[in-house]
Amino acid sequence: MNAALALIAGFFPPDLGLSYLGAAVGPVLQTMGMAMGGMLIAIVVGLPLAMIIGSRVRGARVLYGALTGIRAVPDLTLAILCVVVFGLGPAAGMLALAIFYTAMVGKVFADLFMAADPRPIEALYATGASRISVSIFGLVPLAVKDLLSLGCYSLECAVRAAVIVGAVGGGGLGTELVGTLNGFQFHRAATIIIILILLVGSIDSLSWILRRAPKFVFMLLPLGLVSLWVYRPQFFAFGHAVSTIGAMFPPQLPSSAVGEIPRLIGETILIAAGGTAFAVVAAIPLGICSARNIVPNGVASAVRLALETLRAVPEVVWGLILVTVVGVGPVAGVFALAIHTAGVLGKLYAESFENVECDAVHAIEATGAGKLATVLFAIIPLGSGAAAINTLFRFEWNLRAATVVGMIGAGGIGQALYNAQQLFFYNQMMAYVLITWGIVLFAEWLSTLTRRRYGWMSAI
């Protein structure tokens, strides 16, 4: 325990010397570039895919299934595959992000389009318009508002993900962070984490501005284009890619490994469940303390800042740190997920409490109830529905994240996947990818079922 504290003490003070900050400029640019370029591709490719699905052509279902499938592959696995195909460096990271977020943008908007009121669309068809024109007139306007908020949200996620893919050779801050941690230069790792928090924070403020003045979103376009050009793939080893991907099929496991699968799956589910459970325990008081209709504004802002800090650092980065500090194993994984998830859920809980209907709250207040009674009898019960959906969504997300933190040493199916990949047993790796895929899709199905059963709507 003392040793762990000593290690944590090693993170302070962060190395804020000019020479190191100067050295960090390159990685920051690479990370931002990967995120911007990846998102640009994702939107340019993902939106038309969503329109194709939304206009319900033949084969739309297959396309939709493919997007769901890609989304279920952990981003770290995609990054590893992209490093194999496109060589080391930011190009691989950018393309991994592009693939992952194309699937995400495509799926989210396809859902949006399919849920859209069919009558206006039919009215447009009735004018004799072609399918493309109908998509442009009937679907794109539906997407504009959400495109902006989703775009900002996913740019923030993409920056975090860019750090994650960096950890396996995609370059940028992730590579730098792994390096500093492996080299036990914790004061520099602390610098990288501070930079990451600031980056995510500034994107948050950027999205705040963009929501008020959406025109400025076009300013991001040149940034995206520059990133695309600078980090374009310099290598495209087609033959190598074909033979490597060929080596993954047929997926196969040695008999000794097959017996291990239930234990590995159990460990992964445990990491996800443990991480989510601890996070919920921490997030409830944090959420209450950052809801502006419950506590004074000053307190709420301070707690919210703390939550933002927890949230800005992705699970994998907490994982990398914890693996170094408390050692490899599921405990590191559970806490890595718990810390990040507490930040995410705390913020979402606060929003659910703030968004409760005023009438009902006023009704309770009208009985002469005090502040605390109002919180307990109105605000929390009213907000708990939305909070429950968010928790469920987060658990689903954490199953995927548990696989990813597994790869960096937390154990479970992710670790097995990573070991197989490191030893070049690609057919085994593919078998583990398929198992992961099955777990994630199963969780998605289960959560959709639960939400439908309780009549909960989609929260995001």
Site for another protein in 412-431 (CB under 8 A): 419, 421-424
Residue position matching structure tokens 């929260």: 459
Identity of the residue numbered 401: A
Q: What is the DSSP letter of 231?
A: T
Query: ∠ CA(316), CA(322), CA(328), 5° rounding?
Result: 95
Question: Would you say 39 or 134 has its CB closer to another protein?
Answer: 134
3-state percent breakdown (helix, strand, coil) of the chain, nearest 5: 85, 0, 15
- DSSP result, 364-408: HHHTT--HHHHIIIIIHHHHHHHHHHHHHHHHHHHHHHHHHHIII
Looking at residues 255 to 314 of the shown chain, list those that interact with another protein (rule: CB under 8 A).
Answer: none
Q: How far is the CB of 307 from another protein (least distance, A)?
A: 27
Looking at residues 308 to 347 of the shown chain, list those that interact with another protein (rule: CB under 8 A).
Answer: 323-324, 326-329
Residue position matching structure tokens 């303390």: 289
Q: How far is the CB of 68 from another protein (least distance, A)?
A: 26
Q: How far is the CB of 316 from another protein (least distance, A)?
A: 12
Looking at residues 129 to 148 of the shown chain, list those that interact with another protein (rule: CB under 8 A).
Answer: 129-130, 132-134, 136-138, 140-142, 144-145
Give how far Cα 66 sits from Cα of 187, 272, 337, 382, Å. 43, 25, 28, 37
Stretch that binds another protein, among 30-38, 278-286, 393-401, 448-456 (CB under 8 A): 30-38
Looking at residues 341 to 370 of the shown chain, list those that interact with another protein (rule: CB under 8 A).
Answer: none
Stretch that binds another protein, among 239-247, 301-309, 311-319, 394-402 (CB under 8 A): 239-247
Question: Would you say 74 or 138 has its CB closer to another protein?
Answer: 138
Question: Would you say 141 or 285 has its CB closer to another protein?
Answer: 141
CB atoms within 10 A of CB 245: 14
Q: How far is the CB of 324 from another protein (least distance, A)?
A: 7
Question: Would you say 35 or 280 has its CB closer to another protein?
Answer: 35
Q: How far is the CB of 120 from another protein (least distance, A)?
A: 5
By CB under 8 A, residue 246 contacts another protein? no
Question: Would you say 33 or 343 has its CB closer to another protein?
Answer: 33
Among 270, 289, 293, residue whose Cα is nearest residue 379: 293
Half-sphere exposure of 282 (CA within 13 A, CB side): 21
